[in-house]
Structure 1
């Protein structure tokens, strides 16, 4: 294998603590594989970000590497105790019953507080885990004590193996495993921690523990590809325990050529990045619209609603569609059930739990409005927008969906799900309702949207069709470069998502 002058120093590093900062498409996985191949006698754990990455990694890494997600490790150690009461997530209705409340805003706040705690490295649930918008003044802070007490009750019931009324989530048993301060030294010599910019503090704490126990730790990622702050993720690359790490940078991408790299650099320049992403792949084009006659193209949307609306339009044109993550991952059946509920056709509701919890559609809307639950609100938006013929439209979507991407003329995905993937031709959808230079932007939210655009743009290997926000960024960059626009600092309404 021929490695670049950037990859080789990382592969041959003798440091016990290494930080690998890898820009989009710069061969991060190839470098980690090279690192493992250079140490055939070492027992290495590759800590994968998700299950799909784990499955792909098992096909590529040598036999001295065990590929596992943090949840996979935690399930073997702790999660098996809760097999009988595992649930994907605690819904509002579940939490309301558990804490005996019909105050939906309170229930949502309790759930958010609990989830903030589960993602943290903290030992117990405290006021710090309450949503910041609920802590703006002294009266709100006093009321938050009740939220903390309810969250502690909910967490206690989750941990009770005999209490089947409150399920244990996957993040719940991960938290319990992390609280046990696991020492992996008996099984491994080195841990490779991938996607460090998007792991949450609880996993980052496990990695820090392994370094303190004497294992070799390699942490890799790209802060500009941080996409999951809204789930409690932190950029672990900036953690203080990595201050003594040996640092290596990968900036040369063989995925795309200079044109896509230039777009990426324009986005990153406004974030203050000084290093340049270098495109060494095939020549690429950046356009406003993909050329006609392509055998295949990928369309990346900001939202699930955007994906579904794009699919509805494409199905009318007879396109064969591949859904990244599978069509079932976009909750079509749940939406059909909600549609049936909305028109009173209760016999068509397949998920009977929906009927048990929300006997009337008006009650569902009331809970959604009171709690401002984003998933419920998005579902209502789709159901009411396509109220007349949603089942028929969804039947057409299933008919036009293919399981093998090679059979598809179009691949559809949210930009979040597209991370780690690549296509020859990529079109960015117009549902990125983001104004990059709006002075009312909140800095953290602005950074998240800029990261998402950077990730989306760098999925293209040959042709990239950009959308309005990227065009605005390109125009501002060129205007500043050519002296047409003043190079003034960007203005933000506030620095944090909830100040």
Structure 2
């Protein structure tokens, strides 16, 4: 136990200690919101100073933060960072987003429905652990349409041609996105055991099958593997993410649970537990932090408040409302991450002001606004549709309003009176006072809900509700859930599974 002494200067809970001391080669750590997952992993690494440990980070910002916390025997890297060094460097000259128009040129088609289907098939392949593109990567929901079923084989073949062009280093016309070289690296079946003894796989509930497969490979190579996460915080199913915590190769892993949160108090934990109750979770999240007040609105005299929105549109709309008060606004992830310039370019295109468009690729792809709208409609591209909504809602005032947003944006959150974020970007973060916006607009007890979509929305609410430390102002959707919980608890309604939950995944 000599190696365990270095971690003793840190104070750990009775839930964290067993995980830190574990001698198991494969460990699964289930950590509810705010329960000290990172602290536990840091303690685990400190307890093994001679081990070469890889902390596989969820994204670049997590990597930067992790380097400030972990000891020197830990290498903090994203999977893309590892893949870029091994494979991505030779594609530097053609790295970039693969647009619908790039795909159309690559497969020589003006059929936008077909182009969109090729894009979806490719994305499904890139996110998968599969070696070759097959019919099983074709969007499953489209197979319900007879016409699309007949076209499926040709779409898969077109996707294979597209992928070949992406992988060709001499083909400069067809870009390869970052997920492309990650896929190529994974296909090479890298053996990280030559460099590391243990890999820590964080946010395992939200990784794609490519990375999940990489972790499974390292376990097969004999490495120690610690996977951690919280299935209730799975937010990126729409990007092809899977909950790797349920992977078959983890069936015999040693399991540890973290359920005690010091971020918030009992009231906030109770709200979170109400959400989790309807998902079938029977373990209780304990709020051991300072008392957290639950309200419908945040107090008006706060020096700083955080507003969490469901959508990017919601964030921009909240910003437009607050900027009129002169508020200094901090945008989580940076203001440019919310596509303001792209929206300004699209606005200029809609007005015929071609000389004002800064992103010239927009003009190359779409000669006029009507064609942009036609492509958006035919391809059902959600980002394009969302952009059209903002441009048409705010009309000619959009450039002036956006200029004001930029003037009032700050990069130091301490200078802001308002922080804005989507709930997706808020995962892993916390604030003293949080307001949930009203754009979480789904009916939690609608019997026609799609089971997977319902789970995704409930997860998003759970994440949003667990960001506040002192005051949580809930929205109308959370109020509906709270009332339903109380009605069932008090016997006014039967506490039975929801009709659409028959296909819902079992809770941890």
TM-score if structure 2 supplies the norm length? 0.96
Residues 1:14 and 2:38 are matched in the alignment: no
Q: State the match for 1:29 in structure 2.
A: 38
| Distance of 2:497 and 2:51 partners within structure 1 | 49
| Distance of 2:448 and 2:152 partners within structure 1 | 28
Q: State the match for 2:69 in structure 1.
A: 60
- The 3-state SS of whatever aligns with 1:286 is strand
User: Does structure 1 retain, via aligned residues, the 8 Å contact 2:455–2:504?
Assistant: no
Candidates 122, 132, 141, aligned match of 1:133? 141
RMSD of aligned alpha carbons = 1.2
Q: State the match for 2:448 in structure 1.
A: 440
| Distance of 1:264 and 1:473 partners within structure 2 | 10
Specify whether residues 61 and 242 from structure 1 end up closer, same or farther in structure 2 by C-alpha distance, changes over 3 A only: same
Q: State the match for 1:70 in structure 2.
A: 79
* Cα offsets for 1:207-257 (capped at 9, x unmatched): 000000000000000000000000000000000000010000000000000
Q: How does 1:439-478 map to 2 (within 5 A)?
A: 439-478=447-486
| Distance of 2:119 and 2:259 partners within structure 1 | 40
Specify whether residues 299 and 28 from structure 1 end up closer, same or farther in structure 2 by C-alpha distance, changes over 3 A only: same
Residues 1:321 and 2:329 are matched in the alignment: yes
Candidates 384, 397, 417, aligned match of 2:392? 384
- The 3-state SS of whatever aligns with 2:27 is strand
Instruction: Give the Å deviation of 1:356.
Output: 1.3
Residues 1:249 and 2:257 are matched in the alignment: yes
In structure 2, stretches of 5+ residues that fail to align are 1-9
| Distance of 2:352 and 2:499 partners within structure 1 | 49
In structure 1, stretches of 5+ residues that fail to align are none
Specify whether residues 5 and 267 from structure 1 end up closer, same or farther in structure 2 by C-alpha distance, changes over 3 A only: same
| Distance of 2:504 and 2:259 partners within structure 1 | 29
Instruction: Give the Å deviation of 1:140.
Output: 3.5
Instruction: Give the Å deviation of 1:137.
Output: 5.8
Instruction: Give the Å deviation of 1:277.
Output: 0.1
| Distance of 1:265 and 1:487 partners within structure 2 | 15
Q: How does 1:94-113 map to 2 (within 5 A)?
A: 94-113=102-121
Q: State the match for 1:342 in structure 2.
A: 350
User: Does structure 2 retain, via aligned residues, the 8 Å contact 1:427–1:465?
Assistant: yes
| Distance of 2:218 and 2:146 partners within structure 1 | 40
Residues 1:211 and 2:219 are matched in the alignment: yes
Residues 1:268 and 2:276 are matched in the alignment: yes
User: Does structure 2 retain, via aligned residues, the 8 Å contact 1:16–1:217?
Assistant: yes
Instruction: Give the Å deviation of 1:486.
Output: 1.8
| Distance of 1:276 and 1:306 partners within structure 2 | 31
| Distance of 2:396 and 2:79 partners within structure 1 | 44
| Distance of 1:15 and 1:160 partners within structure 2 | 43
Instruction: Give the Å deviation of 1:489.
Output: 2.1
Q: How does 1:364-383 map to 2 (within 5 A)?
A: 364-383=372-391
Candidates 116, 128, 131, aligned match of 1:123? 131
Candidates 37, 58, 77, aligned match of 1:49? 58
Instruction: Give the Å deviation of 1:139.
Output: 5.4
Q: How does 1:341-420 map to 2 (within 5 A)?
A: 341-420=349-428
Instruction: Give the Å deviation of 1:484.
Output: 1.1
